[in-house]
Amino acid sequence: MPGLGTIFRKSKKQRREDVRSISGKTYLKAMPLRDLSDLDLVKDEVKAGNIMILRVTPLASKSIEDVKRAVNELCEFAESVGGDIARLGEERVVICPPSVKIWREKTPVANEPIPTAA
Q: Where are the alpha helices (DSSP H) in the chain?
A: 4-8, 12-23, 38-47, 57-60, 64-81
The number of residues in the chain equals 118
Instruction: Tell me the domain boundaries of the chain.
Output: 25-96
Using CB atoms within 10 Å of the CB of residue 50, give its burial: 0 to 12 exposed, 13 to 18 middle, 19+ buried: buried
- Residue 1: pLDDT band with limits 50, 70, 90: very low
Q: Which phi and psi angles does 91 have, rounded to 5°?
A: -110, -15
Query: Per residue in 46-101, pLDDT tens?
Result: 999 999 999 999 999 999 999 999 999 999 999 999 999 999 999 999 999 999 99
Q: How many CB atoms lie within 10 A of CB 46?
A: 24
Q: Which CATH number fits domain 25-96: 3.30.110.150, 3.30.950.10, 3.40.50.11890, 2.10.10.90?
A: 3.30.110.150
Q: Mean pLDDT over residues 110-115, rounded?
A: 62
Q: What is the pTM of this model?
A: 0.71
